[in-house]
Chains A and B, each alone.
Chain A
């Protein structure tokens, strides 16, 4: 279960979203929609625990959550295998079939600096699998991926949800997923009056 009640998401001193609520059961997949700058990333950062919400409650154990951002968290000086081994060490999970699942086997000994944008993204996404966490928070995961790998990643997501995991995904591209819920972020933008109130802004 992953429940969020009436949370406000802040970006610096600015209230970007207010009163967001949802409840996800095991196996659920939530797609965040909204135009650029509407607060999808801010919401994901709040859910990941990087920015505490200024109001509302989140019912989630931070250790169950893994978050992948726009940046891949890949070290260019290390090889692909070393990058993967590092995250295994951080999450204390045994080395598994990560290389095969993300189609990185042939690249294992390459320096991450020499990877293409799509290959680097796959390496970044492999952290999801490495972490063994139940709740995946994904910020535009399919950027730079080709069609074949988008399908492959959708399969990984489907498998994750089928085994009782939860995913929250912000995306502009349609992912071939079934049984998804959609949250339109724009509905939670604070009204102009709240936005313009300087005392409210500083009061969090």
Chain B
């Protein structure tokens, strides 16, 4: 499993990997918002949590279809499925590698981008905490969507449609955590709900994903 994670991270960082894509998309989206909405700092500060969370979510979505597709196309997935690692382990390693190359950089990039949108000081810590926790569940759920659509050529559209509704609870809880902190309320309740949701996906989704992979290998 560690070998697989290491290889996936290496592949993402090499040319043709998806590492820069999600990050660049996140930057572009957030940088364009002030041009579209106008330079009113109050308005920007108000919508900043939502924009940052939606931006992170869409950037995450962008690189999902590579999780299994490339391995399926060159036969690696068949070889891995017959290798002595369980498919749940394979699914978990894939999601972990996706989080390290997508979720983690997005979380780190969110702080400077929050500054650009004039995010109030009270929002930074909840923003980073909620993104760090929330992107884990985004990666896991996205990996599940990728496992379901792995047999379909150009399955990106189906994958997005499948995954987006699953992302909604994470988005609501994540954005609310930041908004509540800015408004002076305690973000602890939504943050712990988000953590619970993430732990639930980590515990259950790899099994579902392994079953989806098993069915798609037939």
Contacts and interface: CB of A to CB of B under 8 A. Distances in A.
Interface of A: 10, 12, 45, 48-51, 62-63, 65-78, 82, 86, 88-92, 124, 127, 131
Contact of A127 (B74, B79, B218): B79
B6 A131 contact: no
B36 to A, nearest CB: 37
Q: Please report whether the interface of chain A is mostly helix, strand, loop or mixed according to DSSP.
A: mixed
Given A72-B75, A91-B83, 9 more contacts: A48-B78, A62-B82, A62-B84, A71-B73, A77-B17, A78-B14, A89-B4, A90-B3, A127-B79
A73 B75 contact: yes
Contact of A90 (B4, B14, B78, B218): B4
Nearest to A111: B14
B85 to A, nearest CB: 6
Interface string B2-39: 11101100110011110000000000000000000000
Contact of B78 (A50, A82, A131): A50
B192 interface: no
A131 B74 contact: no
A88 B2 CA distance: 12
A86 B76 CA distance: 11
Contacts of A89: 2-4, 6-7
A66 B82 contact: yes
B193 interface: no
B217 interface: yes
A71 B78 contact: yes
B185 to A, nearest CB: 47
A2 to B, nearest CB: 15
Interface of B: 2-4, 6-7, 10-11, 14-17, 73-76, 78-85, 217-218
A78 B84 contact: no
Contacts of B85: 90
Contact of A70 (B2, B75, B76): B75
A57 to B, nearest CB: 19
Contact of B82 (A50, A86, A124): A50
Contacts of B78: 45, 48, 50, 67, 69, 71, 73
A90 B74 contact: no
A131 B3 contact: no
Given A10-B218, A12-B218, A78 B11 contact: yes
A127 B84 CA distance: 13
Contacts of B11: 75, 77-78
A49 B17 contact: no
Contacts of A48: 78, 82
Given A72-B75, A73-B76, A75-B7, A50 B17 contact: no
Contacts of A92: 84
Contact of A50 (B2, B7, B81): B81
A72 B75 CA distance: 6
Nearest to A63: B84
Given A77-B14, A77-B15, A82-B10, A49 B82 contact: yes
B91 to A, nearest CB: 15
B84 A67 contact: no
Contacts of B82: 48-50, 62, 65-67
25 contacts: A10-B218, A12-B218, A48-B82, A51-B218, A62-B82, A68-B79, A73-B74, A73-B76, A74-B74, A75-B7, A75-B74, A77-B15, A77-B16, A78-B7, A82-B10, A86-B3, A86-B7, A88-B3, A89-B3, A89-B4, A89-B7, A90-B83, A90-B85, A91-B84, A124-B75
Contact of B217 (A50, A127, A131): A50
Looking at A49, A66, A90, which has the most chain B CB atoms within 10 Å of its CB?
A90
Given A66-B82, A82-B10, A91-B83, A75 B76 contact: yes
Contacts of A50: 78, 81-82, 217-218
